[in-house]
Chain A
Amino acid sequence: MKTARIKMLVIFVAAVLMMLLPVQTVQAAKPIVLGLPLSTAFLYGWAAERGVKLAVEEINAKGGVDVGGEKRPLAVEVIDTRDLEPGVPVSDALLAVEKLILDKKADFILGGPVRSEAALAAMSLLSKYKKVSILTTGVLTPAYHAQVAKNYDKFKYCFRIHGEAQNLVGEMFANFGELKKKYGFNNLFIIAQDVSHARGAAEVMESVAKKKGWNVTGVEIYPTGATDFSMGLLKAKKTKSEIINIWMDMPESAILLKQWYEMKLPALPFGSTLAAAEQPSFWKATDGQGEYTLCNVVNAGNAPSEATPWTMKFYNAYAKRWGVEPEGLGSSSSYMAVYVLRDAIESAGSLDSDKVVTALEKTDIMGVYGRLRFDPKSHQVIPALDPKDGAVGSILQWQNGKRVVVYPKSIATGEIKLPPWMKK
C-alpha cells in the first residue's frame, strides 16, 4: 500500500515537472511572439487561430519580419480562454491573457478575447502592461473603440481590425432599403441573443429602423442557450413581418432557422454574427432548410468574392492549408492583422509598444477586404462600401447550397432572392 502510494506520488511529481519543462526551455533564435487568447472550441476562436497561423507561415517562409535590420521570425502562442462558454468567469480569460503576456512573453496580443465582455475587461490589463493588441474576431461592441476614443492615453494600445456592430447595422439597412424599394417590405422583426453586443445592436436597429420609416413589429431578446423560438416566430408571423433580423452567435440559432423553415414563415431571415449560418457546412447541417438565410460575415474574404486581388488568393490559400474554406468572422481579419502588424513593426523598426502604436495608426495597405486604415482616435478600422476606400463588409445569402455574396454591390456575386413561399 505504502510503496504504491509513494510511487503514485513520484509519478505525479514527475508529470508536473514534465509539464513545467517546455515552458522553461529557451529558444535559440528570438522570435517575435504573437499571443492569441482565443476561445478555441468555437468558430470565432479557431477561425482566428487558423487565419493568424496561415499568415505567420507565409511571412516566416519569406524570412520573417525585419526589425531594424534584423530578420526575426514570428511565433504563435495560442491559449484557450474558454470565454465563450457559459459558467466560466471572465477573470479566467483575463488570467489567460496575463499568462500570455507574463509567462509566454508575448510581444503582441492578437485575436481575442472573443466575447465582448472579456475584451472590454482586458483593456485595462493591456494598458497596464503596455501591450499592443489587435482584436480580429468576435468582438462587435461599439463600446470598445468608444472607450479608446474616450480615454486615448490609457487605451491607445487597443486596435480592432474587423467591423463592429454600428457599421453592420448600416450595411444591413442599405439592404433593407433596397428590399423595401423592390418588394415593398415595411415590417421588421428583431430577434437578439441576450449578450451585450447583440442587445446593443438590436436597440440601435430598432431606433434606426423607426427613423427610417420601418415598422418595427417586435424585439425579442432570447437568453443564451434558448432552444425554443416558436413564440417569437409566431409573433413575427402574426404581425406580418417581412424581415426577421437575427443577432445571435450561439449554436442554438440553427434551431431558430429550422423552425422558420418548418413554419414556412413569410419573412426573410437576415442575420448578423449568425455563427451557425456562416460556415460552409451549414447547408449540410440543415439539409438545405437554411436556404435563403442572409448573414453578415463582417468582412470580405470570409466568403468567396473578388473584393481585391488578394481576396481569392487568401481564400484559396486558406482552403488549401486547412482543408476547409474560410468559415466565418475572424478568418480574413486575423490573417490581415498579422500583415498589418508586420508592416507596423518594420516601419517602426522596433518592438517598442508606443512606436508600434504610432506606426499602426499610419497603416494604409490594400488587404484581403479592401484598404485598411485605422481611425487615429478610436483605433477602429475604417469601413467603406468600396474596397478602394476602406474595409468592406460582406453579406451573403445561401442560394442552392452556395454562399453567395450579395452586398456590397462593388463585390457582389449575386442578388437577394426570396423563398418560394414569400413570392406574391
Chain B
Amino acid sequence: MAITTQRRKERIDRGINVRTEGIYALMSIKELSYLAAPRLVLIVGLLILPLLLPDMYWKRVITITCIYAFLALSFDFLAHFVGLVSLGGAFFVGIGGYLAAIANTYWGFPPWLTIPFAALVGGAVCTLLLFPCLPLRGVYFAIVSLMYPLFSARVIEALDIFGGTDGIMGIDGFSNHFVEEYAPLGLLLIALFAIRRLVTTDFGLVLRGVKDNDQAIRASGMNVTFYKSVAVYIASTMGCLSGAILVHIYMWSGISLFALDFSILPIAATVIGGSGTLIGPVLGCFILVPISELLRDFGTLRIVFYALILVGFIIFRSEGLMVWGQRKYHQFERWTQI
C-alpha cells in the first residue's frame, strides 16, 4: 500500500510517434511502416476476410456487417464531428432501400444504377425531410431523429403505399458472388478513408466548430444550418447506400427496413469501437454483428447476452476499443515516483 501511494503511471509518446509527425516520416522505412501498418492491416484484413471464411454463410454475415458499418460510420461522423446525435439510422436505410426497390421494380433500373441513384437521391430526400429539425440540439435532435423511421413505417403501413406491409418483391439480386462480397467492402473502405480525409480539411474544421461552439461559427458569418445540412447529406448518403445494398442482397424491401435495430446497433458498435475515431465504429460492427450471429444458437437468450455485453462495455470501457488501442500504439506507460 505504501508503495502504490507514492507511484503513479505516466504516459509518454513513443519516440517513433513523435518522429513520424512531420514530413521526416518519409525518410525511413521504419517510420513509414509505423504510419502505414495500422492502415494496411485494416485494408488488407478487410479485403482478405471473405477469402479466409470457409462458408457462404459467414461471407454473408460480413456483407451484413458492412451495412451496419456504413451506418455506424455515418452516426460517428454526425455525432462527433458535427454534433448531431442521430438515432435515425433506420430512416436512412429505409429511404435508400425503398428508393432502390422502386427504381428497380417500377422503372427497371439495373442494380449498378439503382444503388448510386438511391444513395445520391436518397441522401437528398433525407436531408430535405430532416431539414426542419436541423436547428435542434442535443437530445432533442436525437429523439426527433429516432421518431422519423417509426413515423415513416407507420405512414407506409397506414396509407398502404409501396406494397404496404407486404413490401416490394421481385427485386434483382447481384449477378455474381464476387461483386456481392466485395462491393460493400470496397465502398466501405472508400467511405471510411474519405470521411477521415474530410474531417481534416477546412470544411471539416468548420463542422467541428459547429459541434464545439455553434454561436462562434454563427458570429463568423457562416450559416450553421447550411453546414449541418451538407454533413447530414454526406451521412445519409452512406446510410441510403447501405439500405440500397441490403435491398438488392435480399431482393426484397419492406417497412421493416425502418426497424429500430438499424438505429440502435450502429450506435452500440460506436460505443464499443470508440467514438470519434471513425475506424472504431467500423471495427465495433465487425465485433458486434458476428457475436450476435454466434449467439443465435441461444435463441431468445441471445438478446439478453448481447444487451449485457453492451452495458458492460459502456460501464467498464466507455472510451471504446479504438481509443484504447491508439493509446497503446502511440504511447507507452511506466511507473514514476511522485
Contact = CB atoms under 8 A, between A and B. Distances in A.
Interface string A92-108: 10111011011100000
B299 A196 contact: no
Interface in A188-217: 194-196, 199
Nearest to A125: B250
B95 to A, nearest CB: 14
Interface in B36-60: 55-58, 60
A121 B55 contact: no
A95 B60 contact: yes
A124 B169 contact: yes
Contact of B254 (A86, A92, A99, A121): A121
A120 interface: yes
Interface of B: 55-58, 60-61, 64, 154, 157-158, 160, 164-167, 169-171, 173, 246, 250-252, 254-257, 259-262, 291, 293-297, 299-300, 302-303
A96 B296 contact: yes
A80 B293 CA distance: 11
Given A89-B259, A90-B256, 16 more contacts: A19-B295, A40-B300, A78-B299, A80-B299, A87-B259, A90-B254, A94-B250, A95-B61, A95-B293, A96-B296, A101-B57, A102-B55, A120-B167, A128-B173, A128-B251, A199-B160
Nearest to A102: B57
A16 interface: yes
A196 B164 contact: yes
B157 A194 contact: yes
Nearest to A39: B300
Given A19-B297, A102-B55, A102-B56, A91 B250 contact: yes
Contacts of A101: 57
24 contacts: A19-B297, A88-B261, A89-B256, A90-B259, A91-B246, A91-B256, A92-B261, A95-B64, A98-B60, A99-B57, A99-B293, A102-B55, A117-B167, A117-B254, A121-B167, A121-B169, A123-B169, A124-B252, A141-B166, A151-B170, A194-B157, A194-B165, A196-B166, A199-B164
B252 A89 contact: no
Contact of B259 (A88, A123, A199): A88
B100 to A, nearest CB: 14
A223 B157 contact: yes
B182 to A, nearest CB: 18
Contacts of A6: none
Interface of A is mostly: helix
Contacts of B291: 16
A41 interface: yes
Interface string A207-240: 0000000000000000100000000000000000
A22 B157 CA distance: 42
A84 to B, nearest CB: 12
Contact of A124 (B57, B157, B170, B256): B170
B251 A117 contact: no
Contacts of A186: none
Contacts of A120: 166-167, 169, 252
A357 B273 CA distance: 48
A22 B259 CA distance: 31
B166 A87 contact: no
Nearest to A116: B166
Contacts of B303: 82
A223 B157 CA distance: 9
B240 to A, nearest CB: 16
Interface string A111-151: 00000110011011100100000000000010100010001
Contacts of A94: 250, 252
A79 interface: yes
Given A40-B299, A80-B299, A195 B55 contact: no
A20 interface: yes
A196 B60 contact: no
Contact of A89 (B55, B171, B261): B261
* Chain A to chain B: the 4 pairs with minimum beta-carbon distance, closest first: A102-B57, A89-B259, A87-B260, A196-B165
Contacts of B250: 90-91, 94, 121, 124-125
Nearest to A90: B256
A102 B56 CA distance: 6
Nearest to A101: B57
Contacts of B167: 90, 117, 120-121
Nearest to B93: A89
Contacts of B246: 91
B256 A88 contact: yes
B294 A98 contact: no
Nearest to A151: B170
A143 B260 CA distance: 26
Contact of A223 (B154, B251, B260): B154
Given A99-B293, A199-B160, A41 B300 contact: yes
Contact of A195 (B165, B169, B262, B293): B165
B218 to A, nearest CB: 38
A124 B168 CA distance: 12
A80 B302 contact: yes
B169 A98 contact: no
Contacts of B255: 117
B303 to A, nearest CB: 8
Nearest to B262: A89
Q: Which of A78, A89, A123, A125 neighbours the largest number of chain B CB atoms within 10 Å of its CB?
A: A89
Interface in A157-199: 194-196, 199
B55 A117 contact: no
Q: Which of B252, B262, B295 neighbours the largest number of chain A CB atoms within 10 Å of its CB?
A: B252
A125 B171 CA distance: 11
Contacts of B154: 223
Given A20-B294, A87-B259, A91-B256, A124 B165 contact: no
Nearest to B257: A89
Nearest to B292: A92
Nearest to A2: B333
Contacts of A20: 294
Contacts of A16: 291, 294
Interface in A1-31: 16, 19-20, 22-23
